[in-house]
Chains A and B, each alone.
Chain A
């Protein structure tokens, strides 16, 4: 019923990323609807940073996010599984060696 007409007018969905303080990465905070990027940033300030949770906001329209397929995660991450030599603990050095 009303659904088709309302969906057509629904403001697009945006994903919000927030840098909680200088020196840290932006982290996904959630999503919201807004007519454009500027409004998305303003809304993100009101919705996700009412208590100074952020010093910088990124917004990305959700349709522009590309994600890996969880069904394929086994084959996607499999090549990393057998490469334990990428970790420092793989190497046995004499105790006498310091600062390494």
Chain B
């Protein structure tokens, strides 16, 4: 087949919703876009453990502690599913880590905000995992098979994450005035960064159009953001908390909530590395990797020694 007919075959598959698998021919840009998106997603799951890990040892009860531990462990699993999906595209795990540690690869900027109180564990589960679910559900039908399958696994696990967060918010909102205030404060701080998780507005998002054509993306940033706002407003009402947006108003004609303008300068500033915790997060990750080097080396040496011993015994027999 010529490159031309390879391309035609690929286009036909995309057009008829047939999955692309690792050994299939694919355009270079499709491969590059996927590596960038999947690895960015994997890095977000891994870095995303840090803000919540901050509260594991200070959870208010044994039940909350067990739940938070299980949630953070899930996020590690999500990172690992996604790294292995990225590796099917011909990049090694070490290269992926190098890109994260050198700052070449990005991760979701939401994780560069600090977790100041216990209520932040509630707000993160409710809003951050909630926004992640909005993003991830359409990705279960993404054109690249290994990514889509990883997302199915992730989505199955996410719903407990959001529910446990909402339950924390519910408990605090029904608690003492101080507790309710703490919940409101967490909502105030996490609302806008959560909306930014869907990425820049469609008009400024250069990659969206091509990604939609390749069926890597199924809905635009603004569509997903609107869906998230629409479902979350009701959930805030049930908590008796106020979403920090004076312009939030139901629009009968559109059938959606109208909302205020997002501070995109803040978003780009955090993406560029100037958020409150960028340095802290990346340092924690780099140190963990460097401190674990001797463990990885020792395990490898041990495995090799054992293998050599086995081979020797087999020869002698």
Q: What residues of chain A have their CB less than 8 Å away from a CB belonging to chain B?
A: 2-3, 6-7, 9-11, 13, 30-33, 35-36, 39, 46-48, 50-51, 67, 69-71
Contact = CB atoms under 8 A, between A and B. Distances in A.
Contact of A11 (B74, B84, B300): B300
B98 A31 contact: no
B279 interface: no
A51 B157 CA distance: 9
Contacts of A30: 81, 84-85, 149-150, 153
A31 B300 contact: no
Nearest to B23: A70
B80 A9 contact: no
Interface stretch (B55-63, B189-197, B206-214, B301-309): B301-309
Contacts of A31: 84, 87
Nearest to A6: B94
B87 A47 contact: no
Which has the most chain A C-beta neighbours within 10 Å: B80, B85, B153, B302? Answer: B80
A6 B98 contact: yes
Q: Is the interface of B mostly helix, strand, loop or mixed?
A: helix
Dominant SS at the A interface? mixed
A26 to B, nearest CB: 16
Nearest to A33: B93
Nearest to A50: B77
Contacts of B296: 9, 11, 35
B29 interface: no
B238 interface: no
A31 B89 CA distance: 13
B303 A36 contact: yes
5 contacts: A3-B94, A10-B93, A30-B153, A50-B73, A69-B23
B299 A11 contact: yes
Given A47-B80, A50-B74, A71-B1, A3 B98 contact: yes
A50 B75 CA distance: 12
A47 B77 contact: yes
Nearest to B306: A36
A50 B74 CA distance: 8
A35 B303 contact: yes
B250 interface: no
